[in-house]
Structure 1
Amino acid sequence: MAILSIHNLDLSFGGEPLLKNVHLHINPGERICLMGRNGTGKSTLLKIIAGQVLPDRGAVRLEQEARATFLNQDLPADLTGSALAVASQGEPSREQEARQLLTRLAVSPEAAVETLSGGALRRVLLARTLATPAEILLLDEPTNHLDLDTVVWLENYLERLCKSRSAAIVFVTHDRAFARRLAQNVAELDRGTLYHHTCGYDEFLERRDKRLADEEARWEQFDKDLAREEAWLRRGVKARRTRDEGRVRRLLDMRERYRQRRERVGSVDLSLEEARRSGDLVITTKNLSFAYSPEDEPIIDNLSTLIMRGDRVGIVGPNGSGKTTLIKLLLGELAPRDGTVRRGANLHPIYFDQLRTSLDPEKTLWENLGDGYDTVTINGRTRHLLAYMEDFLFSREEVNKPVRILSGGERNRLLLAKFFARPSNLLVLDEPTNDLDGETLELLEQILLDYQGTILLVSHDRAFLDNVVTDCLVLSGDGTVQEYAGGYGDWRDRQNHRADQETQNRDKTAGRGNPSPAGERQKPRRTGTRLRYKEHQELEALPGAIAALEEEEADIHRQLSDPDLYRTVARQETPGGSTQDPGQLSRRLEEIGQELARAYERWEELEARRGDSP
């Protein structure tokens, strides 16, 4: 039985209906992802369910004694007191859980909320939502301002919550990996209509694409029929005969349907203005360290790395680990305490900052984007500003709006439009995916993959990182920065693999040091008879081969981080006569990454077969 039902819901703000005859039923334990483009009314629908907005028509019925709690995307301006008082809402019975949640979300329970940043305050409100006893959780962008590890923790927490409490969750997210993991069903808002899909995220994408293709085919046939009927009517005399009055009425009905038709808004059209190529060497650091004051522990400690032209580097780590600080060091906005940062020749960087400080909230969209001009030039082609803004889904009626009234997704689109009109060969993107809908994210991914320059990317969107980056710099929070080939998923797989190996080694050591008590019969050790003799030998040799590859990988990283390698234009001959070529070393580094991936895959395959052996 549904614990919440929505019937015949309508809402408009003077123009086209935002919500039109919406129906939805929410069952205990159900996890529903509310999907749709920016501006389709997802947050508004959550506010209606929470009782914060009244619809023009329809009803929201909550089962008797059922409770709902709401994480609003908008931050309240009137919060005071400690983080613990806000998260527990002054209820002593909730203090213990609220304290645990705040600690896990990296917020001090004793911190005064008036002093917290927007991101930290958002995490306090998330803790308050999770600590509130409720049968329905309404979560609007719950992963915003969470680091990657915390997003994974939240996924696990919400799954357990649904099972232990039979709580239902309705959530809005732009994080595709989060939606893929949590969503059992998807409710899609499109031009006022809510489509309910009883499937997960990936199947929803297929169903949505088929629905839109079918809709386009139907309207294409409708347009042909309408054109034929209009041509018939223009022929005149026959159309005015009594026996044809029914056909005329049908034509008038078709005209009305055409007038009321709401076309799906076009996709964002992204293109980048690229500057001349930079040099092969973009940024190199040697023994780089930084702290904001001499007595502080370093935020970045002894980092030596090399970034070459065409690299797409993801910078990941917990909140507060120094990701934005590292970007500013690499760009020269901060000076290192120790070590050096060297930037290559002919660099034209663009910095898409997390705080969006490049936008003036009091100026209009036109003023922010045009900077006094009414045209932009993209890859040699001059475009009028109005046409260019339409590429980013801003209508001509919106260009004189002040930026301060835009949604988060609209601000991000405007900033992308502003930056993509500038020539660049180094893109530095600090959380560019916040509040962008899924379709725009996919288009942004494609334009970054086609980009010929170098990219530094900070993001908590795991799918975005996996699809875009070629390497990761991982900040641990204690100053250590490690470099890995591949995306976020590749790094996590390696971490999990190493953790499993350490666990196995500890178990073996414990087994040798602590024999079973007398009389206790041990399980016979599996012999792995399903592996052939040569496969046994291969399995035994793989850990050594993997260690050798990783040692070679680390050695090449050390060589490439040495600025002396680049002081001559031609190849540098070593005393032993071997050739040290940065290009060759980089290609070998790529080969090692592929060899490691194959070695890990083979090791897992053989280990699984051995484990399955009787």
Structure 2
Amino acid sequence: MPLISFDNLSIAFGAEKLLDGADFQLDAGERVCLIGRNGAGKTTLLRLLAGEIQPDSGDLWRQPGLRVATLAQELPADTAATVFEIVAGGLELGGLLAEYHEAAHRLSQAATSDEMRQMERLQHELEARDGWRWQQRVETVISRLQLPADTPLAELSGGWRRRVLLGRALVREPDVLLLDEPTNHLDLETIQWLENELLEFRGGLLFVTHDRALLQRLATRLLELDRGVLTSWPGDYAAFVEKKAALLEIEARHNAKFDKNLAQEEIWIRQGIEARRTRNEGRVRALYALREERRQRREQLGKASFALGQAELSGKLVIEAKNVRYAWQDEPLIRDFSTRIMRGDRIGLIGPNGSGKTTLLNLLLGRLSPDAGEVKHGTKLDIAYFDQLREHLEPEQTVLDSVAGGRETVEINGQRRHIIGYLGDFLFTPQRVRSPVKSLSGGERNRLLLARLFTQPANLLVMDEPTNDLDLETLELLEELLLEYTGTLLLVSHDRAFLDNVVTSCVVFESDGGIREYVGGYSDWLRQRAAPEAASAVKPKPAPALSPKPSKSAAAGKLSYNERRELEQLPARIEQLEQRQRELHDLTADPAFYKQDAAAVTARLEELKALETELEGCYGRWEALEGRTSS
């Protein structure tokens, strides 16, 4: 029995329908990733499922008593409520739990007889309503997300507020969980914890994400929204890209044939008076039908197409840092950091939120002065900086003025382009370029920042979280652009696939307070990092396409005989487990899987969970043994 479904559902904003006669069903145990271009209507679909808006037509059905929790893209307004109150507010007992938490906090400071009596009353009420279980649930979520329970929401940054909203959604243990870009502003460790939480979620999950590693690991199927049409795609994202490209090619051929036929009919009806006297009225009616069909055709949205403004080459040495130290409010952030960045390097910065990544960027760029040590710049540097916080976008300015500043043209690689055409490369229509910045979606704001950034000729490109809110196609185009970029790149990102595909080395803020550099991308860092840290960190269960593969010819030094045998046998065991993992993922990706007997579904899901736990243990053991052979 489905949790939620709709039939022949339509909704429109303005002239075009965001959903046009759509059908959909979400079953328990499914993890569906909703994909589509920015502006296609994904957020609208989530709001429909959450019951926040109603469709124009069609039937929308929810299981009676269904509990739905959502994570919206928009951050909450400033509020005096504490983090504990916001998270607990996702529960029916939220008010009681918040009252008890506040009373316990006051009691720890000073206890009066009235406060003691109030505490006893709250304890009895919680016991009567099974409140202790929910109290523990709230505290667990707050702990896992590393939230400051007693801090007012108004004092938190946008990223931390998003964590709080995520906690509010997760704490409810809902039947249906709707997540809109859940990894935005989360660091890698929290993303990995979130993945594990969602893999264990037994309700129905529908999520929107640009994080391909998350998509690959979680999704049991993909749901595409394209020009008002919902299409379910079994399999993973790589299979979707291949099948979608083939479908678009067929569509293009069909449209070309249709347009040729229409053009021939238009020529026929415009022939001379003699032809019009003898024309077939049925053929005329058919022409009118062709015209109407062509009018109603919704063309695929264009793809973003942009190029970086290239400056002249910098010197071979770009930046050199020696023994740099920096503290904030007497807390050391950077300790004895040294590096040499050479022309053409593409360096990723990895670390938890608040660890000091943006501070390190500012030190390297000379925007901050170190407390000790020195930073030297090479010659002929032209720097362009992508601003994570979007603080330089003026809300009241139009898109046009934000990029061109009143000019009609911009210069890209020595060629002048009209600003309307240039912004069209970033998917802004002539009408949209005159909209104020404050009306833009998150994805549109990121594309606007890219449009501004790429007008600056640069040989050192600095990007702080550029991928948030970008659709998958634009994200992949940005990857291609950066791979072709001949200058030097400094990149802060929590997007694991993006790091793997773009950077040549990673500077990592590690748990012991040190900053170390590793060759390669995110997956390479996972293989190279020290075994003790690998064992203690929150680690993902690798998806088949992204998992690091152990070598079958591992060195065998510094191990006992039994450990050497174990190391030799682990690759074969891992391959066996991964093969079964792929089989189970294919099985659970089939919508028909969830229409079986509930016991059979549960048994297979439990097998998958146990297998992934064993696989995680095998990877941890292999990394520990392999690390000892190279130490």
Provide TM-score, normalisation by structure 2. Answer: 0.77
Match of 2:253 in 1: 217
Distance in 2 of aligned mates of 1:396 and 1:460: 33
**Distance of aligned partners of 1:436 and 1:4 in 2 relative to their CA distance in 1, 3 Å threshold:** same
- Give secondary structure in 1 for the equivalent of 2:61: strand
Distance in 2 of aligned mates of 1:61 and 1:334: 56
- Residue 244 of structure 1, CA deviation: 2.0
- Give secondary structure in 2 for the equivalent of 1:359: coil
Letter in 2 for 1:392: F
1:379-401 Cα distance to aligned partner (Å, 9 max, x none): 11110111101111111111221
Letter in 2 for 1:176: R
Match of 2:545 in 1: none
Letter in 2 for 1:284: E
Tell me if the contact between 2:518 and 2:528 (Cα under 8 Å) persists in the aligned partners: no
Match of 2:178 in 1: 138
Match of 1:424 in 2: 458
Answering whether residue 326 of structure 2 is matched by residue 310 of structure 1, we say: no
Match of 1:595 in 2: none
Match of 1:382 in 2: 416
Task: Say which of 210, 214, 218 aligns to 1:178.
Answer: 214
| Correspondences of 1:197-346 after superposition (within 5 Å) | 197-236=233-272, 240=276, 244-293=280-329, 296-346=330-380
Match of 2:596 in 1: none
Distance in 2 of aligned mates of 1:79 and 1:96: 25
Tell me if the contact between 2:78 and 2:153 (Cα under 8 Å) persists in the aligned partners: no
Answering whether residue 404 of structure 2 is matched by residue 370 of structure 1, we say: yes
Identity of aligned residues (%): 49
Tell me if the contact between 1:374 and 1:384 (Cα under 8 Å) persists in the aligned partners: yes
Which shows bigger deviation, 70-79 or 429-438? 70-79
- Residue 500 of structure 1, CA deviation: 7.5
Distance in 2 of aligned mates of 1:80 and 1:6: 39
Distance in 2 of aligned mates of 1:225 and 1:109: 67
Letter in 2 for 1:366: L
Match of 1:525 in 2: none
**Distance of aligned partners of 1:500 and 1:488 in 2 relative to their CA distance in 1, 3 Å threshold:** closer
**Distance of aligned partners of 1:22 and 1:240 in 2 relative to their CA distance in 1, 3 Å threshold:** same
- Give secondary structure in 2 for the equivalent of 1:188: strand
Distance in 1 of aligned mates of 2:536 and 2:438: 52
Answering whether residue 139 of structure 2 is matched by residue 99 of structure 1, we say: yes
- Give secondary structure in 1 for the equivalent of 2:410: strand
Tell me if the contact between 2:349 and 2:506 (Cα under 8 Å) persists in the aligned partners: yes
Tell me if the contact between 2:358 and 2:464 (Cα under 8 Å) persists in the aligned partners: yes
Match of 1:450 in 2: 484
Match of 2:41 in 1: 41
Tell me if the contact between 1:321 and 1:478 (Cα under 8 Å) persists in the aligned partners: no
Answering whether residue 71 of structure 2 is matched by residue 55 of structure 1, we say: no
**Distance of aligned partners of 1:196 and 1:540 in 2 relative to their CA distance in 1, 3 Å threshold:** closer
Tell me if the contact between 2:507 and 2:518 (Cα under 8 Å) persists in the aligned partners: yes
Distance in 1 of aligned mates of 2:225 and 2:387: 30
Which structure: larger Rg?
1
Paired residues, what number? 511
**Distance of aligned partners of 1:53 and 1:148 in 2 relative to their CA distance in 1, 3 Å threshold:** same
**Distance of aligned partners of 1:374 and 1:2 in 2 relative to their CA distance in 1, 3 Å threshold:** same
Structure 2 unmatched runs, 5+ = 98-130, 538-551, 560-618, 627-631
**Distance of aligned partners of 1:303 and 1:499 in 2 relative to their CA distance in 1, 3 Å threshold:** closer
Distance in 2 of aligned mates of 1:251 and 1:498: 73
Answering whether residue 175 of structure 2 is matched by residue 150 of structure 1, we say: no
Match of 1:548 in 2: none
Tell me if the contact between 1:299 and 1:478 (Cα under 8 Å) persists in the aligned partners: no
Distance in 2 of aligned mates of 1:369 and 1:335: 31
Tell me if the contact between 2:233 and 2:240 (Cα under 8 Å) persists in the aligned partners: yes
Tell me if the contact between 2:76 and 2:161 (Cα under 8 Å) persists in the aligned partners: no
The CA RMSD over aligned residues, in Å, is 2.4
Match of 1:124 in 2: 164
Tell me if the contact between 2:83 and 2:153 (Cα under 8 Å) persists in the aligned partners: yes
- Residue 479 of structure 1, CA deviation: 3.8
Distance in 2 of aligned mates of 1:97 and 1:109: 13
**Distance of aligned partners of 1:501 and 1:444 in 2 relative to their CA distance in 1, 3 Å threshold:** closer
Provide TM-score, normalisation by structure 1. Answer: 0.80
Distance in 2 of aligned mates of 1:22 and 1:238: 48
Tell me if the contact between 1:320 and 1:477 (Cα under 8 Å) persists in the aligned partners: no
- Residue 372 of structure 1, CA deviation: 2.7
Match of 2:584 in 1: none
Which shows bigger deviation, 135-144 or 68-77? 68-77
- Residue 230 of structure 1, CA deviation: 1.8
Match of 2:493 in 1: 459
Structure 1 unmatched runs, 5+ = 504-534, 544-600, 609-614
- Residue 242 of structure 1, CA deviation: 7.0
Match of 1:584 in 2: none
Distance in 1 of aligned mates of 2:373 and 2:533: 32
- Residue 178 of structure 1, CA deviation: 0.7
Answering whether residue 52 of structure 2 is matched by residue 27 of structure 1, we say: no
Answering whether residue 556 of structure 2 is matched by residue 540 of structure 1, we say: yes
Answering whether residue 229 of structure 2 is matched by residue 193 of structure 1, we say: yes
- Give secondary structure in 1 for the equivalent of 2:147: coil
Distance in 1 of aligned mates of 2:315 and 2:59: 63
